[in-house]
Amino acid sequence: MRAGKTASLILAMIVTAVGAALPPLAAALPWTASLGPSTRFALVAGVLGLVTLALLMPVGASLDRTVDRLRSYLESTGSSDGKPRRFYGPKWGRPLTRAFTSAVDQFRQREQMLTNELRQVEIRCSVSEAEQRQTEAVLHALRDAVLVTNAFGDIVVANEAAGQILDFDPAQAIHRPLEEFVRDKRFCQLVSDTAETANFAERRHIEHEISVTVKEGGKSRIEPRVFDVTIACIEDHKHEVAGVVTILHDLTRVREISQLKSDFVSKASHELRTPLASIRAYVEMLVDGEADDEDARREFYLIMQNETDRLGRLIDNMLNISRIEAGIVQIERENVDFKSLIDRAVNTLEPQAREKKISLLTKLSEVDLTVEGDGDMLHQVVLNLVSNAIKYTPDGGRITISADSDNLTRCIVFSVSDTGLGIPPDAMDRLFEKFYRIENYKRVAKGTGLGLSLCKHIVETLHHGQIGVESELGLGSRFWVLIPMRYAGSQAAA
């Protein structure tokens, strides 16, 4: 049974009980005087109960219906179709529904507003997350170390380079004191001094040497490196010190390059000065009339011609090397037959070898020895190596030139072996350096010290091959070259 009807029934029962219990009520009914007290009680209770029930039952049923309508109205108002509905119930329910509808409308507007705000916050969140990821990616990709500390001297930002240079794990160091992670006391002092100055306008540049742990092939070693430290104070909205930002830029390589450049210039000028001085001396002697007969003059002219050739070779080699190093050399790619390169070189150098009674042997494989490369440059490599072998092999020696293909590496293997002076172990690592010449051999043969360096550039930089040497002092040397049969990489020099 529904709540309205139940309430009517309960009310009727209460009225029945109360009515029956009231003796004056029964006494007021004269026609009940002949009845006994219990019959009168039952009669009065019954009549009262029935009358009350008859009166209250419709009210209860109507109440139930109104509650049903109200419920269905409220349920439909709460649904999201958004249209206001008409309330088909008694009039007294209408103010209630109106109040409820406006409350629901307000809630709905508020909900809409909050949903929009939430969406905006979500968008802003994902944009700032993406920006943060981008900034972190940029920071970590930087080769310069970036380190930011807050006003309390705790690390707040540190990229990978900072971790590598200052030897700490950036992930563990965040929000921890700088001194706890960075062992370089001078660097820590620099950061705290900058924070104390509270000078926001100045960005200081300091040169600072740091002992960096370099990890290579599973081993680590300490290497002193010079850094350009840029350090500045960060200001907060209250114009107070928010922290310090430090950027470390490695100057070691720049220094090395400028050292190499000045070494090159001083060596080049030294090498150029030697033949020039010689030419000048002979010119002066000729001018002073010191060569009085034709034979002496001819000898002077020949010496001057040799020195001029040497000067020309020096300048050509220097130019070639620096052009390759600068990456402006284009190689003329063509099919180069190594056999004919070797034949050409042997033909050119045969007279020199014969003069020293050196036998020139060639051991060329039957297979195709064609590579994709620059014929003129590769010819220069063959010529340099064979000419060196002749220069540094005593009279009566033997030189073997061999070439074969290596199917595993898809390379041509070319080598020049001699029974010459050999190379001292301490010179092995420096042999391909510019201007390097073994001191004791300077008297043995004239040279520029640039031939092997040029060979290395032609083979490795321009043809992506390899060049090396094996030697035993006093017994001879074997220079070997690997050139890929197919040219890999771009045309321009790396």
Chain residues binding ligand ADP by CB under 6 A are: 384, 388-389, 392, 418, 420-421, 423, 431, 436-438, 441, 447-453, 477
User: Cα(456)–Cα(321) distance, rounded to whole angstroms?
Assistant: 10
C-beta of 359: minimal distance to ligand ADP in Å? Answer: 15
Cβ atoms 346, 386 nearer than 8 A: yes
**Please, which residue, 437 or 463, has the CB nearer to ligand ADP?**
437
Question: What does the block give as tokens for 227?
Answer: 């850094």
148 or 421: CB nearest ligand ADP: 421
Q: Is the dihedral of CA 257, 263, 267, 273 positive or negative?
A: positive
Return d(Cα 216, Cα 238) in angstroms, integer: 47
Q: Which residue has the tokens 């540049």?
A: 205
Quote the least distance from Cβ 494 to ligand ADP, whole Å.
Answer: 21
Which structure tokens are listed for 61? Answer: 């049923």
d(CA 195, CA 409): 59
Q: What is the β-pairing status of strands 476-484 and 411-418?
A: antiparallel
Rank residues 182 and 321 by Cβ distance to ligand ADP and give the closer one.
321
In the bound state with ligand ADP, the residue whose beta carbon lies nearer, of 109 and 440, is 440
Smallest gap, in angstroms, from Cβ of residue 406 to ligand ADP? 23
Q: What are phi and psi of 230, to 5 degrees?
A: -100, 125
Cα–chain-centroid distance for residue 258?
Answer: 27
Q: Are 461 and 324 in contact (CB under 8 A)?
A: yes
Residue 149 CB, nearest approach to ligand ADP (Å): 52
Smaller CB separation from ligand ADP, 4 or 397: 397
From the list 359, 366, 460, the residue with the least C-alpha distance to 419 is 359
436-464 in b/e burial notation, b at 16+ Cβ within 10 A?
Answer: bbbeebeeeeebbbbbbbbbbbbbbbbbb
Q: Which residue has the tokens 């060049």?
A: 467
Selection from 428, 435, 434, 491 nearest residue 464 by Cα: 491
Question: Given the complex with ligand ADP, which of 403 and 467 has the nearer CB atom?
Answer: 467
Which CB, 372 or 470, lies closer to ligand ADP?
A: 470
CB 491 within 8 A of CB 428: no
Give the nearest distance from C-beta 414 to ligand ADP in angstroms. 15
Round to whole Å and give the CA distance between 375 and 252: 38
Q: Of 210 and 345, which has the nearer Cβ to ligand ADP?
A: 345
CB of 150 vs ligand ADP, minimal distance in Å: 57
Identify which of residues 172 and 440 has a Cβ nearer to ligand ADP in the complex. Answer: 440
Nearest to ligand ADP of 43, 428 (CB atom):
428
Nearer to ligand ADP, 225 or 457 (CB): 457
Shortest Å distance, C-beta 471 to ligand ADP: 7
33-50: buried (b, 16+ CB within 10 Å) or exposed (e) per residue? eeeeeeebbebbbeebbe
Left, alpha or beta for 174 (phi > 0: left; psi -120 to 50: alpha)? beta
Q: How far is the CB of 309 from ligand ADP (least distance, A)?
A: 13
- Residue facing ligand ADP at closest CB distance: 447
Q: CB-wise, 227 or 479, nearer to ligand ADP? A: 479
DSSP state of 459: I
CB of 391 to ligand ADP, least distance (A): 6
State the nearest-atom distance from the C-beta of 266 to ligand ADP, in Å.
18
CB of 198 to ligand ADP, least distance (A): 59
Report the residue number, 8 or 417, with the smaller CB distance to ligand ADP: 417
Supply the minimum distance, in Å, between the C-beta of residue 299 and ligand ADP. Answer: 24
Is 339 in contact with 376 (CB distance < 8 Å)?
A: no
SS3 290: coil
CA distance 482 to 404: 10
Question: Do the beta carbons of residue 195 and residue 151 sit within 8 Å?
Answer: yes
Sheet containing 359-364: order of strands: 359-364, 398-406, 411-418, 476-484, 466-472
CB 165 to ligand ADP: min, Å: 37
State the CB neighbour count (10 A cutoff) for residue 30.
7
